[in-house]
Amino acid sequence: MMAQYLALKEQAADCLLFYRMGDFFELFFDDAKIAAQVLDIALTSRGEHGGAPIPMCGVPVHSAEGYLARLIKAGCRVAIAEQVETPEEARKRGGSKALVARDIVRFVTAGTLTEEALLEPRRANVLAAVCDVRGVIGLAACDISTGRMELEECSPDQMGAALARLGASEVVASDSWELAPVDCVARPNRSFSSDEGETRLKALHGVSTLDGFGQFTRAMLAAAGGLITYLDHVGRGALPLLLPPVAREAGTHMAMDEATRASLEILVSSTGTRRGSLVEAIDRCVTGAGARLLAEDLSAPLTDARAINRRLELVSWLHDDPLLRGDIRGVLRALPDVGRALGRVVAGRGSPRDLGQLRDGLSEARRLHDMLRARRDLPEPMVALLPTLSGHGALTDLYARALVPAPPTERSQGGYIAEGYDAGLDELRRVSGNARRAIAALEAKYRDETGIAALKIRHNGVLGYFIEVPAKHGDRLMHPDSGFTHRQTMAGAVRFNALALHEEASRIAESGGHALAAEEAHFEDLVGHAVRAKEAIAATAGAIARIDVAAGQAERAAEGNWALPRVVDEPCLQITGGRHPVVEAALAAKGERFVANDCALGQQDRLWLVGGPNMGGKSTFLRQNALIVLLAQAGGFVPAQAATVGLVDRLFSRVGAADNLARGRSTFMVEMVETAAILSQATDRSFVILDEVGRGTSTYDGLALAWAVAEAVHSINQCRCLFATHYHELARLAETCDALSLHHVRAREWKGDLVLLHELAEGPADKSYGLAVARLAGVPAPVIKRAKSVLEKLEKGRAATGGLAAGLDDLPLFAAAIEAAEEKVDALRERLNGLDIDALSPREALDMLYQLKAQANG
C-alpha cells in the first residue's frame, strides 16, 4: 500500500494528499503533521517506513468539506486520491490480496473551488494567470464558481495594480519567469503560449475563430493558455464552467494600485476583514451574486461617463420608486444563487439540489421579468436587461416536472425525481414500496405467530433486513421448525432471517437498485439540458446581480439621504456636505453626529493643503472625497448633499508612514516608494490624497520632502490633490503655487479644554494644539505642564532664528530648480553621446569612467 501511496504522492507534488481508505481520507508523513496541526486533530502512526513509524491522521469522508475549507484557508493545496474500483473488482483482477486501485481525481486549491461550503457567498473567488510576452504582461482571470472569464494586458509596471484589482485567491505563472509575482503557483512555461490559449479557447467554445468574443492580443491568449491548462490539470481533465472570455480594454477602469486600495479599505479594512470596509458600509444587496458584483464594481470603477450614467440611471429609477424597489428586492431575496449552482452543475459536481436551484432561480427571474415588463417607465438600461431575465421556460418546465420540490444534495439515496415523470420509475418505486409495507406487515405477523411482543424487523448495512428478538426469547426461534434461520447472536439479542422476509428484501434491493439507476440516468439528462443552456443561464444570473446591485445602491442612498452625482469630463470635484460612510456609521453607532464638509477643487484651485490638530478630521476629510469619487464612478449615489465629479483616470491614496507600522519593512522607505509612484504616474486627470507624507522621518527631512512633493504635484503632475499636513511651514507654498489653497480643520480651546469641531474652514491652521490633544488623550498634567515650558523655550528660539523654514526665503521656484538640475545631467549626456566607445582601449574607457563620475559629482 505504501508503494501505491508514494507513487500518488509523487504526482501530488506540493499538495497534501488525501488518500481514501474506506470511510476516511488518510494523510501520512509530513502531510499528516501539517494537517494535524492546522486542523487540530490527533496525529497517530501506522506501520513503519525506513525503520521509523509513519505519522498519520485522517478525516471522515462525509465531513471532509469542512476540513478542506480550513486547509485551503490556511494556504494549503490538497490532492484527493479516491478508490477507482470496488474491492470486488480488485479481487477479481488480482486475487484476494489485491489492493484497490486509487487515483488522484482532483486537486483542491484556493482558486478552483465550486463547493458551496468552501466559498463565501458574498465574495467572488478568482483564479488568475499572468505571463510576460516580450515585455507585455498578459492576464487571464476567471471565477469558476460562476464561469466568468476575463483577459487583459498591461505594461510590467501596471501588473501590481492589475493583480490588486483582481484580488485573486490563487495566481499561476510560468516556472521560468524570474519576475513572476510572489506566492504564485509555478507552471510549465510551455502552457503560457498564445497558440495554446487560442486552441484551448476555440475547443472550449466550439468555434473556429475567437473574433466573435472580442479582440485578444498574444499576451492575453498566452495567459489564457496558462489558465486553462492549469484548470485542466487540477480537474484531471474535467474542465469547470468557463464562459466566453471578455477582453478588458486598457483605460476603461479607474486605476488604483494596491497601496491605494489598502488605504481606502475598499473590500477589506485594515483589520484584514470585511468589517469596517467601504463595501460593508455600502452593501445592501439581498443576493450573494449582487454582493459579488458590487465588490467588483467598487474594485474597478469606470472611466467612461456614458457607462457610469447608465448604471446611475438604473439606481436613480429604483431610488425614486421605493414601492417598486421593495417589490423587486422581495423577489430577489428568495432567489437561490443561480450562477454558482450552474458552476457546480457544469463542473460535474452538481447535486439534485443545484438543479432545483436553477429551476427556482430561473422561474423567479421570469416572475421578475413579468413584473417589470408591465411597467411603462422602464429606463433604457432596464429595457436592455429585461430579455435576459426570461427565455428558460422549456428548461424550468422540464425541471418542474422532473424534480421533487426540495431535492436533496446527495444522489446516493435517490428520491429526487418527481412522481409522474417516469412511469417505469414509478413502478419500481411502487414495487419497493409494496415490499416495504409487506415487511411491516410481516413484523406484525411474526409477533402474532411467536407471541413475542418485543420482536422487531430491523435493517443494517451488513445484514440487510433481519428479525431481532431479546436474548431470552432466542432459543424459541432456534428450533429447526420455527421457520427462522439464525444469523447472529448479540449480547442482549438474537437475530434471524426468514424466507418471506428474504423475498421481500430482495424485491426492495432489486427495484431500489433499478430505481436508483433510473434516477441517475435522468439526472445526467437534466444536467445536459443546463450545460447546453449555460451561457443563457449565466446571462440571467448576471442580469439578476446587476438589478440587485442597483436596487441595493438605491436602498443605501435612500437610507442615508445620499445624492445622485453629476459626472462630468473636466478636472473638478465639487462636493457639498460630503460625508465618510464608514466613519459616519461608526459615529452613529455611538450616538454621535458626523459633521459634513464641502470640497471644491477645480483647474484654478486644484491642490488643497489641509492643516489643523491631530484627530481634527483631516484624514477623514481626505478619504471621504476619494470614496465619493470612487462610488460615483462605480455608478452609485454618494454620501453628500450634492456632488459634481470630474472623471478621474487614476486614484491615489497615501498615508504617512507612522500609520503603517504593522508593515514591517522600513516604513519610511515604503512611504517614499509609494510617493514616487504617484509622482511618476499621476496625470492632470488623476485625484491624489496625501495624508501626512514625510511624517516617517526627522522634522527637517520630512518638511523638506513634503514641501518638494507638494510642489511637484502642483506644478508637474497638476492633478487634483488633497494634502493633509501638520507642518505649518508648508502654508508658505501658497505664496508661490497659484493653484494651491490653504484649509484647516477647526478646533477651539474652551476653558482650557480642546474642542475638535471636525469642520473644514479656509485659511491656514492657527496653531497645532499638540499639547491640548495630548491632554485630551489622558497624558498626565505634570507632563503636559513640563511640555508647555519646553514649548515656550522652543518658540522663543524660533522667534529669534526665524523658525524651521527660515532658510526658505530665497528658495528658487520649483520649476527653475529642476531646470538647473537637468542642465548638469545634460552636460554629462552630451559627453556620453559624443563618445566613440569602439575607439577606446579598455584603459582609456576606465579613465573616462573616472572622469564622468567626477563630473557627475560636481
Q: Is the dihedral of CA 672, 675, 676, 677 positive or negative?
A: positive
Three cell numbers written together for 289: 451574486
Give, rounded to a whole angstrom, the gap between the first and last alpha carbons of the chain: 75
Closest CA to 540 of 213, 207, 243: 243
Q: Mark the segment that binds ligand ADP (CB under 6 A) among 399-407, 418-426, 449-457, 592-600.
A: 592-600
Q: Is 614 among the residues that bind ligand ADP (CB under 6 A)? A: yes
Give min distance, CB of 750 to ligand ADP, in A: 17
Cα–Cα distances (Å) from 354 to 299, 337, 399, in that order, read 29, 9, 11
Q: Least CB distance from residue 587 to ligand ADP, whole Å?
A: 6
Min CB(769)–ligand ADP separation in Å: 11
- Among residues 645 and 756, whose Cβ is nearest to ligand ADP? 756
Segment 147 to 186, residues that bind ligand ADP, using CB under 6 A: none
Nearest to 723 by CA among 740, 736, 704: 740
Q: Is 264 exposed, middle or buried (0-12, 13-18, 19+ CB in 10 A)?
A: buried
Q: Is 594 one of the binding residues for ligand ADP (CB under 6 A)?
A: yes
Task: Considering the complex, state which of residue 197 and residue 617 has its C-beta at the smaller distance from ligand ADP.
Answer: 617
CA distances from 659 to 45, 143, 693, 768 (A): 48, 34, 11, 19
Nearer to ligand ADP, 282 or 583 (CB): 583
Query: Residues 643, 644, 647, CA angle at the centre, nearest 5°?
Result: 130
Long-range (24+ apart) CB contacts under 8 A made by 479-484 are: 482/450
Write down how long the chain is.
858
DSSP 606-649: -EEEEE--TTSSHHHHHHHHHHHHHHHHTT--BSSSEEEEE--S
- The neighbouring-strand residues paired with 82 are 103
Taking CB under 6 A as the binding criterion, the range among 58-66, 415-423, 615-623, 727-735 that sits at the site for ligand ADP is 615-623
Residue 210 backbone dihedrals phi, psi, to 5 degrees: -90, 0
Q: Is position 465 an interface residue for ligand ADP (rule: CB under 6 A)? A: no
616 binds ligand ADP (CB under 6 A): yes
In this complex, which beta carbon is closest to ligand ADP, that of residue 431 or of residue 615? 615
* Lateral strand order in the sheet of 597-601: 566-568, 642-646, 573-578, 597-601
Which of 468, 692 has the CB closer to ligand ADP? 692
Q: Of 146, 80, 140, which Cα lies nearest the Cα of 109?
A: 80
Q: Which residue lies nearer to ligand ADP by CB, 658 or 849? A: 658
Residues within window 619-648 making contact with ligand ADP, judged by CB under 6 A: 619-620
CA 687 to chain centre: 26
Least distance to ligand ADP, CB of residue 579, Å: 7
Kindly state whether residue 585 participates in binding ligand ADP, applying the rule CB under 6 A: no
CA 742 to chain centre: 40
Q: Which is nearer to ligand ADP, 198 or 674 (CB)?
A: 674
Contact between 243 and 339 under an 8 Å Cβ cutoff? The reply is no
**Which of the ranges 112-120, 360-368, 617-625, 699-707 carries the binding residues for ligand ADP, by CB under 6 A?**
617-625
- The footprint of ligand ADP on this chain (CB under 6 A) covers a number of residues equal to 14
Per CB under 6 A, contacts with ligand ADP among 702-761 are 745, 758
Contacts with 445 (C-beta within 8 Å, 6 or more apart), sequence order: none
Does residue 107 sit in helix, strand or coil?
A: strand
**String marking each residue 531-570 x if it binds ligand ADP according to CB under 6 A:** ----------------------------------------
Whichever of 597 and 718 has its CB closer to ligand ADP, that residue is 597
Would you say 396 or 597 has its CB closer to ligand ADP? 597
C-beta of 553 vs 597, nearer to ligand ADP: 597
- Type and span of the H or E element at 560: helix 534-560
CB closer to ligand ADP out of 39 and 615: 615
Q: Which residue is nearest to ligand ADP (CB)?
A: 617
Q: Minimum CB separation from ligand ADP for residue 570, in Å?
A: 27
Which of 583, 628, 747, 765 lies at the binding interface for ligand ADP (CB under 6 A)?
A: 583
Of 324, 463, 615, 679, which lies in the binding site for ligand ADP, with binding defined by CB under 6 A? 615
Of the pair 614, 660, the CB lying nearest ligand ADP is at 614
Residue type, position 605, single letter: D
Residue with cell 488605504: 263
**Which of residues 670 and 773 has its CB atom nearest to ligand ADP in the complex?**
773
Point out which span in 50-58, 546-554, 609-617, 839-847 binds ligand ADP (CB under 6 A).
609-617
Region near ligand ADP per CB under 6 A, out of 125-133, 277-285, 593-601, 807-815: 593-601
Residue 155 Cα to chain centre, angstroms: 24
Interface map 407-446 toward ligand ADP (x if CB under 6 A)? ----------------------------------------
- Coil, helix or strand for 280? helix
Distance from C-alpha of 99 to C-alpha of 93, rounded to nearest angstrom: 10
Name residues contacting ligand ADP, limited to 305-364 (CB under 6 A).
Answer: none
User: Looking at beta carbons only, is 89 or 659 nearer to ligand ADP?
Assistant: 659
User: Which of these ranges, 158-166, 471-479, 531-539, 610-618, lies near ligand ADP under the rule CB under 6 A?
Assistant: 610-618
Angle between helices 534-560 and 305-320 (to 10 degrees): 70
- Shortest reach from residue 616's CB to ligand ADP, in Å: 4
Query: Would you say 445 or 748 has its CB closer to ligand ADP?
Result: 748
Min separation Cβ 376 and ligand ADP, Å? 43
Q: Which of 130, 123, 124 is nearest to 147 (CA)?
A: 124
* Chain residues 750-779 in contact with ligand ADP, contact rule CB under 6 A: 758
Tell me, rounded to whole angstroms, the distance of Cα 745 from its chain centroid.
36
HSE, CB side, 13 Å, CA atoms: give it for residue 91: 4
Cell numbers representing residue 752 in the block: 482650557
Q: Which residues bind ligand ADP (CB under 6 A)?
A: 583, 587, 594-595, 597, 614-620, 745, 758
